[in-house]
Amino acid sequence: MIVYGHQFASRMLLGTALYPSPAIMAEAIRAGNAAAVTASVRRESVGKAQASTGFWSLLQELRLPVLPNTAGCRTVKEAVTTAHMAREIFSTSWIKLEVIGDEDTLQPDVFGLVEAARILAEEGFQVFPYTTEDLVVAERLLGAGCRVLMPWGAPIGSARGLNNAYGLRTLRAHFPDVPIIVDAGLGVPSHASQAMELGCDGILLNTAIAKAGDPPRMAIAFSKAVEAGRLAYLAGALEPRDMAYPSTPQLGKPLLAAGG
């Protein structure tokens, strides 16, 4: 998986929130062979506060690329300001852009998202937009300068899986050369495998692993599911059909003639 010229070591990115402890978080990230980690800028503040939390030090110990995000931002101005803070704190032009439009579903405000993406892309940011599976919105985001799409599978933390597999399949068909990373709503490894079988390039997870009874073990399970789904996509999965299709050929089948 190559995004903005960076070749990721695997196809799974992991969040850093909600874990029982920093140690368990680090263990899960390593166990799942994560390619990168996301971090909310709200966890850090500029200057000496970084040293007091120790969170930045822990991320450095993981030796993984960090994708800061604008989690919780609800306006274009707030998202852009947070992105500027993230660039200073994490010394990266990457930004996972979130502009939330609905309190209950945490669905992206796609109008604000496109506007913020355009502003940030013009300022040299490499934007990873958290979006819906809407085809027209995807067109606008790519036109605004994004080079990757991060559609949700379902509302954040809902564990409902892929609410609109058709929409994701449509995105893949319309943008065959654009990296697509499913972000949010996956609950079990089979959800991740399904997304990869549709041709998506990667998965971004947090809650399903962080809130599991055994986060490191669940991270391993998701990692294997992502790999299996990708292999199935590359192998060319059998399309569903309405009628049975015999696995044993009829040719050469012995026939018993009626006695006479």
Catalytic residue annotation: 96
Amino acid at 184: A
Contact indicator for 220, 190 with CB cutoff of 8 Å: no
Residues 206 and 78: their CA atoms lie apart, in Å, by 23
- Beta strand 12-14 pairing with 36-40: parallel
Residues 83 and 65: their CA atoms lie apart, in Å, by 16
Give the CA distances from residue 243 to residues 92, 106, 175, 246, in Å, rounded to whole numbers and listed in that order.
53, 41, 32, 10
- Beta strand 181-183 pairing with 6-7: unpaired
Helix axes 135-143, 165-174, angle to 10 degrees: 40
Helix axes 22-31, 215-235, angle to 10 degrees: 30
CA torsion 193-221-16-196 (nearest 10°) is -10
DSSP-derived secondary structure letter, 41: G
Residues 214 and 195: their CA atoms lie apart, in Å, by 23
* No. of helices (H) and no. of strands (E), the chain: 10, 10
**SS3 at position 222:** helix
